[in-house]
Amino acid sequence: MSERPEVIQAPPIPPEFDSLMGVFSKQRIYESSNLPEYCIVNEYKLDHGISAHIENFTFGEPVCSLTLHDGDFMRFHELEAPQDGSVRSGKSRLGKRTGRKVDVWLPPRSLAVLRGDARFKWQHEIVRSRTRRTASRPDVEWKRTSLTFRVKR
Q: What is the pLDDT of residue 136?
A: 64
Rounded Cα–Cα distance for residues 55 and 38 (Å)? 12
CA-wise closest residue to 51 among 10, 100, 89: 89
What are the Cα distances from residue 58, in Å, to 31, 54, 61, 86? 18, 11, 10, 10
Q: What is the pLDDT of residue 153?
A: 82
Q: Using an 8 Å Cβ cutoff, are 83 and 94 in contact? A: yes
Which phi-psi region, left, alpha or beta, contains residue 81 (left: φ > 0; alpha: ψ -120 to 50)?
Answer: beta
Beta carbons within 8 Å of 136's beta carbon, 6+ residues apart = none
Question: In order of start, what are the domains of the chain with their CATH numbers?
Answer: 38-150 (2.60.120.1520)
Q: Determine what percent of the chain is predicted with pLDDT higher than 70.
A: 84
Rounded Cα–Cα distance for residues 44 and 7 (Å)? 24
| pLDDT tier, 4 (very low <50, low <70, confident <90, very high otherwise) | low
- Three-state SS annotation for the chain: CCCCCCCCCCCCCCHHHHHHHHHHHHCCCCCCCCCCCEEEEEEECCCCCEEEECCCCCECCCEEEEEEECCEEEEEEEECCCCCCCCCCCCHHHCCEEEEEEEEEECCCCEEEECCHHHHCEEEEECCCCCCCCCCCCCCCCCEEEEEEECEC
**pLDDT tens track for 93-136:** 778 899 999 999 999 999 999 999 999 999 999 988 766 656 66
